Chain A
Amino acid sequence: MSSALYDLIGLAAGVCFILALKGLSHPKTARRGNLIGAFGATVATLVVFLYVTKPADGTPAHSLPLHNLGWILGAIAVGLVIGVPAARKVQMTQMPQLVALFNGVGGGAAALVAIVEYLNLGAEATKAEVIFTVFTVVVGCVSFSGSIITFMKLQELMTTRPVVFPGGRFVIAATLAAVLGVSGWVVAALGTTPLLILAALSLLFGILFVLPVGGADVPIVISLLNAFTGLTVAASGYVLNSTLLIIAGTLVGASGTILTRLMADAMGRSLFGTLFGAFTAKPQDVAAAGEERPVRSGSPDDVAILLNYARRVVIVPGFGLAVAQAQHTVRELADLMISKGIDVAYGIHPVAGRMPGHMNVLLAEANVPYDQLAEMDEVNPTFGQTDVAIVIGANDVVNPAAKTTPGCPIYGMPILEVSNAANVIFLKRSMRPGFAGIENELLYDPKTMLLFGDAKSSLTKVVSALKAL
């Protein structure tokens, strides 16, 4: 294959990625967009096997097949065996952490590619190539270890609260300074050992960088790390002389940055506050104050009676609903209420679930009609005319502290104003605070009724009680 044809096919793959991102931005074309992206990536991968790039150390390109072909195919097979079942079998509730993990391994791959190319180049490397290599290693490693921490937070393998330790800020600042210092050393001295030290320090920095981020802000960090990984791919493209990698990486870097900002806006957070606010935050001492206060708890029958005489009901689903796999039962309840002539809507907070849009995916999975899903701006003005708001496994997205308590981790986040409804029902497993780890005053409000238990079994009981009425 001629080098012009190889480059041309690379360009076509780049165009596929642009069309993919464009398609993914609109609900109608999203699925097709993703398939176009997959097509482009597949073609780009296949073409590499038909064309041998000239090694960077100056030796001429050898003839086909590629060196180490068997090993390469074997490694791809291993990747497929790990990646495909993980992607196919993952529960939709656990999907955000899987995306985080995929992003992390992508960053790790970029860092490894840069390290190998650096070993390969040795003293032949130009200053520019070394600088791009250093960039890729640093950012790729940060993305890798940072994503692993976000994965552990979302999987609840570790605490979801900001992890802040005394002097943490100084440790982070010192690590960053060390990363920058060693980067300079690598550029000046060109050695394998400094590069490996740099990789280790960058991994450490990634961990320290994500630890202080609170659970609710994790999606923003995933999106940011995603953009980072994109940039590392672009930088690898420079070192490997691949236009395709430059285009693809830059596209992801740029669109990822915009997406991160859009997400932060949807959550009412400043990006700066998310990344650096937690550096100064003190761990909230939440549980102590609320533990002993009385709450009003009810039975499924009480809830059914309340619903039976309502004219308008708004269902506010949260992550707890998805954990309990109660999407289908919720739909059953909604259908039953509609058959009784009750006006039913779902109030979807932009960040309900664990990521923006996550809840829409989960409800779509249960075949909830799209026109019953109301976005926050649409549903908030209607709570005044709403008789009952049922909050199922949600907490932070209805927590009035976001409006009333400056300094709490979610302060400034727009919320669903369920407190304006005549009655509020909370379905909760326990009095445990939400993902962000903040006490919710609304639970103690006199018009609030709590129904404790697993969301699915509680809802099933409410459905049968309502049928009996």
Chain B
Amino acid sequence: MEPMAILSIFVLAVFVGFEVVSKVSSTLHTPLMSGANAIHGVILVGAIIVADHSHTNLELGLSLAAIVLATINMVGGFVVTDRMLEMFKGKKKGADQ
């Protein structure tokens, strides 16, 4: 990829990241952190790609370890976030700030 294209994607993503969470009540800090935590679990995609590219047993072993860890991060992260947010349901009145 073009370095300039990558830089553009990076800078724009930084601004989007800043914008979407700039006003959050402290009530939601924990679920938000947990949800963001689950999102970086997509490193699983990277782990699968390097497992496919692996030539040696060492490379394969390390990339399989990465897949296990990334799966725990991603799936566990979304499940635990959902459990937290489940607690807030059914209290729609007053729940919106």
User: Is A442 part of the contact surface with B, judged by Cβ < 8 Å?
Assistant: no
Residues on the B chain within 8 Å of A103, using CB: 37, 40, 73
In the complex with contacts A45-B42, A254-B18, A102-B80 CB distance below 8 A: yes
CB-contact partner of A263 in B1, B29, B56, under 8 A? B29
Closest to B63 in A: A116
In the complex with contacts A68-B52, A112-B65, A113-B50, A236-B88 CB distance below 8 A: no
Residues on the B chain within 8 Å of A263, using CB: 26, 29
In Å, the complex CA distance between A72 and B18 comes to 35
Q: Mark B15-57, 1 if CB is under 8 A from A, else 0.
A: 1111011111111111111111111111111111111111110
Shortest CB distance B63–A (Å): 5
In the complex with contacts A55-B53, A83-B71, A95-B80 CB distance below 8 A: yes
Residues on the B chain within 8 Å of A115, using CB: 62
Closest to B14 in A: A254
User: Is A34 part of the contact surface with B, judged by Cβ < 8 Å?
Assistant: yes
In the complex with contacts A22-B20, A364-B91, A79-B68 CB distance below 8 A: yes
Residues on the B chain within 8 Å of A233, using CB: 40, 42-43, 46
In the complex with contacts A112-B62, A255-B20, A48-B49 CB distance below 8 A: yes
Q: Contact residue range for chain A?
A: 35 or more
In Å, the complex CA distance between A113 and B91 comes to 43
In Å, the complex CA distance between A88 and B59 comes to 32
Residues on the A chain within 8 Å of B3, using CB: 128
Are A71 and B64 in contact, CB atoms less than 8 angstroms apart? yes
In Å, the complex CA distance between A266 and B28 comes to 12
Residues on the A chain within 8 Å of B56, using CB: 119
User: Is B87 part of the contact surface with A, judged by Cβ < 8 Å?
Assistant: yes
In Å, the complex CA distance between A266 and B75 comes to 29
Q: Mark A78-100, 1 if CB is under 8 A from B, else 0.
A: 11101110111010100110110
Interface of A is mostly: helix
CB-contact partner of B71 in A80, A244, A357, under 8 A? A80
Are B31 and A24 in contact, CB atoms less than 8 angstroms apart? yes
In Å, the complex CA distance between A258 and B32 comes to 11
Shortest CB distance B44–A (Å): 6
Q: Mark A45-86, 1 if CB is under 8 A from B, else 0.
A: 100110011011100000000111001101110111011101
In Å, the complex CA distance between A396 and B29 comes to 20
In the complex with contacts A41-B42, A229-B40, A34-B63 CB distance below 8 A: no
Are B49 and A102 in contact, CB atoms less than 8 angstroms apart? no
In the complex with contacts A95-B80, A355-B30, A358-B30, A249-B40 CB distance below 8 A: yes
Are B39 and A21 in contact, CB atoms less than 8 angstroms apart? yes
CB-contact partner of B75 in A27, A83, A95, A370, under 8 A? A83
Shortest CB distance B37–A (Å): 5
Closest to B29 in A: A356
Residues on the B chain within 8 Å of A78, using CB: 68, 71
Residues on the A chain within 8 Å of B74, using CB: 41, 45, 83, 106
Closest to B86 in A: A31
Are B94 and A25 in contact, CB atoms less than 8 angstroms apart? no
Shortest CB distance A375–B (Å): 7
CB-contact partner of A24 in B35, B40, B60, under 8 A? B35
CB-contact partner of A116 in B25, B32, B59, B73, under 8 A? B59
Are B22 and A88 in contact, CB atoms less than 8 angstroms apart? no
Shortest CB distance A352–B (Å): 10
Known contacts A25-B23, A84-B79, A371-B93; 12 additional CB pairs below 8 A are A48-B48, A71-B51, A79-B67, A86-B72, A95-B80, A99-B77, A112-B63, A226-B33, A248-B40, A357-B28, A358-B30, A364-B87
9 closest cross-chain pairs (CB), A and B: A79-B71, A254-B17, A83-B76, A356-B29, A250-B13, A106-B73, A83-B72, A112-B66, A87-B79
Give chain B's interface residues, CB within 8 Å of chain A. 1, 3, 6, 9-10, 13-18, 20-56, 58-60, 62-89, 91-97
Can you spell out 5 A-B residue pairs with CB atoms less than 8 angstroms apart? Answer: A71-B64, A87-B76, A95-B84, A113-B46, A254-B13
